[in-house]
Amino acid sequence: MSTPEIQSVTSSALSSTLLDRHPRRLIITGGAGFIGSNFVHYWGQHYPGDRVIVLDALTYAGNRANLAGLEGHANLRFVQGDICDRALIDTLLAEEAIDTIVHFAAESHVDRSILGPGAFVQTNVVGTFTLLEAFRQHWQAQGKPEQYRFHHVSTDEVYGSLNPDDPGFSEITPYAPNSPYSASKAGSDHLVRAYHHTYGMPTLMTNCSNNYGPYHFPEKLIPLMCINILLGKPLPVYGDGQNIRDWLYVEDHCSAIDTVIHRSQPGETYNVGGNNEVKNLDLVQMLCTLVDELAPDLPVRPSSNLITFVKDRPGHDRRYAIDATKIKTELGWTPSVTVEEGLRRTVQWYLNHPDWWQPLLSEEYQAYYRKVYA
């Protein structure tokens, strides 16, 4: 392990928790999606000797182009498959002698969960249950090895909406999910918790705030606004634009998961945030300013002329923010990328990669867009 944050942890804390064992043999579910693919890149750079199986159903949000440059690597195997497919999971766990699952696969977009919640219950609840149950039997059959881990990636949305004066969500904030998406993630979180409590299974969980960065599907706020600015299309801000999100650069999220896998005791849960609370309208304004600077030849100048207020999202949570004290004090992790720096990197990435995002603006995407922004 080489990151400065990790080196700053005291040696006594490390001696009891160090699980820096490599090579590991991992399944990364949802590894062709936004955060999952960033994590596959991250893990390959940090632990090139590890065996990585990417398991992804390639829904509309999954994209093999997100793994560009990695496929063909001897230690990486891509499997197109569903996390609800128990026989497939059993086969992979056994034939690849898996010791670690990092579980990203999910239906992840709140607006889609409002249009059609069924897929969210199926993948997020039933899919997580299927993985947990398969991993439990695999772990038990191997004699419950101490180094096995099931890391569940979850969200701050399970805590509901934060009042203006409240400190951020902590690990003891009561669950109060408001959307079908967040309710399905809450259900999966409870299953993970129960598997540790009941069976002693070595689970880990992180609940993080809004991620952003490369390979982010353009249904989410930041990539959607970047691309619409580049195309000269309206920038649809929901409601009054005063909702607040706490932005976490995706690479910081990957390093947080890495830290938890290597430092945490089994059964623990950590909240991960970016210390970057911004109102939506201010964020869109920041993106406009950046694109005006980095792409000065666009026809609409200033880009902020494209900002359009549209009807609010039903049940729209007003504010999310994370209190990341626990992961900082217990494991020594803090975010390293400010929102100004992260947005600059992100805008530059979208400017440099029209070949990545143009094919995503498909018929399916246009039909979805018409429904949400009708």
180 scored as a contact of ligand TDX (CB under 6 A) = no
DSSP per-residue letters across 52-72: EEEEE---TT--GGGGTTTTT
| Residue 114 site contact among ligand TDX, ligand NAD, none (CB < 5 to 8 Å, cut-off depends on kind) | none
Checking DSSP bridges between strand 269-272 and strand 203-208, what pairing results, if any?
Answer: parallel
The question of whether 157 is a catalytic residue gets the answer yes
Decide whether 210 or 303 has the Cβ nearer to ligand NAD: 210
54 scored as a contact of ligand NAD (CB under 6 A) = no
Shortest Cβ 152–ligand TDX spacing (Å): 13
Indicate which residue of 99, 156, 246, 251 is catalytic. Answer: 156
37 scored as a contact of ligand TDX (CB under 6 A) = no
221 scored as a contact of ligand TDX (CB under 6 A) = yes
CA–CA distance, 99 with 61 (Å, rounded to integer)? 27
Shortest Cβ 227–ligand TDX spacing (Å): 11
Closest C-alpha to 153, from 117, 106, 83:
106
Length of the chain: 374
End-to-end CA distance of the chain: 49
Q: Degrees (nearest 5) of the Cα angle 39, 126, 107? A: 45
> Given candidates 109, 136, 196, 263, which one binds ligand TDX under the rule CB under 6 A?
109
Query: With contact defined as beta carbons under 8 Å apart, do 350 and 357 qualify?
Result: yes
112 scored as a contact of ligand TDX (CB under 6 A) = no
CA–CA distance, 192 with 150 (Å, rounded to integer)? 9
Using the rule CB under 6 A, give the single segment among 86-94, 131-139, 164-172, 210-218 that binds ligand NAD. 210-218
Shortest Cβ 35–ligand NAD spacing (Å): 4
Phi-psi map region of 267: left, alpha, beta (phi>0 left; psi -120 to 50 alpha): left
Decide whether 126 or 300 has the Cβ nearer to ligand NAD: 126
Which DSSP category does 126 fall into?
I
Kindly list the residues in this chain that would bind ligand TDX in the complex (CB under 6 A).
Answer: 108-110, 155, 157, 210, 220-221, 224, 236-238, 243, 245, 280, 313
- Residues tagged active-site: 156-157, 181
